[in-house]
Amino acid sequence: MKISQVVTAVGTIVLAVVGGTMVVTNPGQATYEDYAVEQLSKYLKEEVCPQAPEALDGFIRRQCTILVDTGRPQIKQVVAQSTKRENFLLFSIYRTDLDVSTLIPAYSFETVGIYQQFYLYKADEKSY
């Protein structure tokens, strides 16, 4: 067997293994929804709740984090309804448009899912 044939065979095998691994580890919609709820809940607790009024000795701020935790099923439902998945077999792109009220800004997120991981690559705030 010539060296070029060996290199070609090894390269083909490596590409097949990597491609197969990517297909198997391409995260699905439910996995993305869990990820998005986790990220959104973390954002609300760390960025939004601390901005709540300091009234009643911090009562509102403490209640805010509790509301985020108890509202996770509703957050997941909103994420599920506002997300579109493009499945490219080796990876997926998720586009989420959160627009729940004209009283608060709307957000648009684009995330790539690959190897059971998610990478947010675009986040925009839409104002009215």
- Which tens digits make up the pLDDT trace of 52-65? 777 666 777 778 88
pTM recorded for the entire structure: 0.83
First-to-final CA distance of the chain: 67
- Residue 92, amino acid: S
In contact, 65 and 42? CB cutoff 8 Å: no
Give the count of beta carbons closer than 10 Å to the beta carbon of residue 77. Answer: 13
Cβ burial 9-37 (10 Å sphere, 16+ → b, else e):
eeeeeeeeeeeeeeeeebbeeeebbebbb
Average confidence score pLDDT of the chain: 88
pLDDT digits (tens, 9 = 90+) for 19-58: 888 888 899 999 999 999 999 999 888 988 888 777 666 7
